[in-house]
Amino acid sequence: MPFSIDSWNVDPNRLWFLKLSDSGSDIQCALYLTEADAEADTSPQAAGSCAYGSSMEIVLTADPGATVQISFFQGTQDFHFLVTGASGDPDAIVRVAEFVELDEISHPIYRNADIITTRAKAEIDAHTHAVLSKDIALGSHLPTLEPGDVIRLNSTRRGKNELLQVVDHRLSAEISEGGEMRLTSSVTAATYLALKR
């Protein structure tokens, strides 16, 4: 499992890329402004390390060539990152997005239980469906037919003309007494029916 971060506390509050790697004795961390810098290991802004473990605190030290000086976003917390990893974990580059402040939802429409129920019901109705499947034996073998393909089922005798999606494609072979082999295909195809409550 690759190294991961559990929390971050970096100022300035902006997009960062943190590279986590295994030094053989601890977790090495380097902070970059772009993903390209992290991949090429150029222009690090800060670096640090911590022991292996879960939610280990890392305090980064600014690189001498850094163009952006870092500090703690929350001054009451004395770490830049909480990192999880074990010896032998693969390296990882983690994109760390900036924190955002959301306005409080104060409009009464968002606190009305009836509207919440109505909206939830509309969403359920909009995304609920049944799968109707059919097994169809074909008279010949169609080698290019794959699950996910759309086929048209057309029968003038039955008055059918519908589009179906192939779910399963099976081959069967029959060998005649003369030693000739005949391949045929049979498919399971599905159509989708919207359900309303």
pLDDT, tens digit, 9 for 90 and up, residues 153-163: 888 888 888 88
Whole-prediction pTM value?
0.52
Domain that holds residue 14: 4-96
Instruction: Give residue 108's pLDDT.
Output: 64
Q: 77 is written with which tokens?
A: 């917390």
Q: Mean pLDDT of all residues in the chain?
A: 86
- Is 44 or 98 the better-scoring residue by pLDDT? 44
Are residues 72 and 138 both part of a single domain? no
Are residues 92 and 135 both part of a single domain? no
**Domain assignment present for 113:** no
- Number of domains the chain contains: 2
Question: Using one digit for the tens of pLDDT, what is the confidence trace for 3-19?
Answer: 999 999 999 999 999 99
Q: 87 is written with which tokens?
A: 């010896």
Measure Cα distances from 90 to 8, 16, 93 in Å: 20, 20, 10
Residue 60, classed as helix, strand or coil, is coil
Are residues 134 and 73 both part of a single domain? no
**Domain assignment present for 104:** no
Domain boundary residue among 96, 119, 144? Answer: 96
Are residues 143 and 90 both part of a single domain? no
Mean pLDDT in residue range 170-194: 85
Q: Are residues 83 and 20 in contact, defined by beta-carbon separation less than 8 angstroms? A: yes
